[in-house]
Amino acid sequence: MTFTPQIPHWGAKNNQYSEKLYEYHSWLLDTGIKNGLISNKNKQLVWDEFIIHSLYFGIIIRKVDKPINKVYDLGTGGGIPGIPVAITNPNILFKLVDISESRVYELERLKSILGLKNIEIIRKDAKSILSDHNLYISRCYISSKEALGLIKSYKNATYIVSSNGEDLDHDKNMFHVKQENFMINSTDLRHIDVITVR
Ligand SMILES: C[S@@+](CC[C@H](N)C(=O)[O-])C[C@H]1O[C@@H](n2cnc3c(N)ncnc32)[C@H](O)[C@@H]1O
């Protein structure tokens, strides 16, 4: 199977960052798989499911209707979605949070390999990071339903979270929810929910 590092039309502006994204892709295929940060997948799947999926978080962040200078990636694992979004949004600070010591260790090494100035790695329980007004992102860390419970007491907090596309039963007086659907390649549809506490 040939590897095509495509970026869908919705992400065309990210083409200028391709070289750095390829570098991260190679790290995921090598260190990421070797150290269990991601499961063993072929080159194309790692590109589509991790890099391209992550880039859509960046598309949403650019549309958020409030000033943003920092974003927290909760349960970041091998830096997903935080690293691709940090590469393609160099003017925003990304704080990558994970509870696992080994993941944090590998991310610190990755930070210097990629020479990224706009990321911080934090070893903490994600719950201890939550506060009013902040912007959070997560892929495959918690469900949208759990995200509602996690941020409900934090005024004006926004949580952008990967979802399975199901309708989210929620209190409309308490939350504003927008569900986004997008293609990661020519055949596969993915979903992200954007939850804001009113
Ligand atoms: C399924 S992995 C997802 C990793 C990455 N976001 C991805 O899409 O590949 C979940 C990650 O959440 C981290 N994690 C689990 N509980 C956590 C907590 N309470 N606070 C912060 N991170 C946590 C785990 O160490 C793991 O790296």
CB of 25 closer than 6 A to ligand 1? no
Instruction: Please report which confidence band the pLDDT of residue 142 belongs to, taking 50, 70 and 90 as the band edges.
Output: very high
**Which residue, judged by its Cα, is nearest atom 27 of ligand 1?**
77
How many other C-beta atoms are found inside a 10 Å radius of the C-beta of residue 132? 11
What is the reported pLDDT for 86? 98
Q: What percent of the chain has pLDDT over 90?
A: 96
What is the reported pLDDT for 191? 98
What is the reported pLDDT for 125? 98
**Which residue, judged by its Cα, is nearest atom 19 of ligand 1?**
125
**Which residue, judged by its Cα, is nearest atom 24 of ligand 1?**
75
What is the reported pLDDT for 95? 98
DSSP structure string for 123-163: ES-GGGG--TT-EEEESSSS-HHHHHHHHTTSTT-EEEEEE
Which ligand 1 atom is the nearest neighbour of the CA of 77? 27
Query: 0.95 cut: is pTM over it?
Result: yes
Query: What does the pLDDT look like over 72-129, one tens digit per residue?
Result: 999 999 999 999 999 999 999 999 999 999 999 999 999 999 999 999 999 999 999 9
Instruction: Please report which confidence band the pLDDT of residue 155 belongs to, taking 50, 70 and 90 as the band edges.
Output: very high
Average per-residue pLDDT for the chain: 97
Q: How far apart are CA 175 and CA 154, in angstroms?
A: 11
Q: Is 1's pLDDT higher than 90?
A: no
Which ligand 1 atom is the nearest neighbour of the CA of 141? 10
Q: Which amino acid is at 165?
A: G
Q: Please give the angle made by the CA atoms of 142, 5 and 71, to the nearest 5 degrees.
A: 35
Q: Is 49's pLDDT higher than 90?
A: yes
Q: Could you tell me how many residues make up the chain?
A: 198
What is the reported pLDDT for 123? 98
Q: What is the DSSP letter of 48?
A: I
Q: What are the start-end ranges of the E strands in the chain?
A: 70-74, 93-98, 119-123, 135-138, 158-163, 175-183, 189-197
CATH topology of domain 14-197: Rossmann fold (3.40.50)
Q: Is 176's pLDDT higher than 90?
A: yes
Average pLDDT of the residues in 146-150: 97
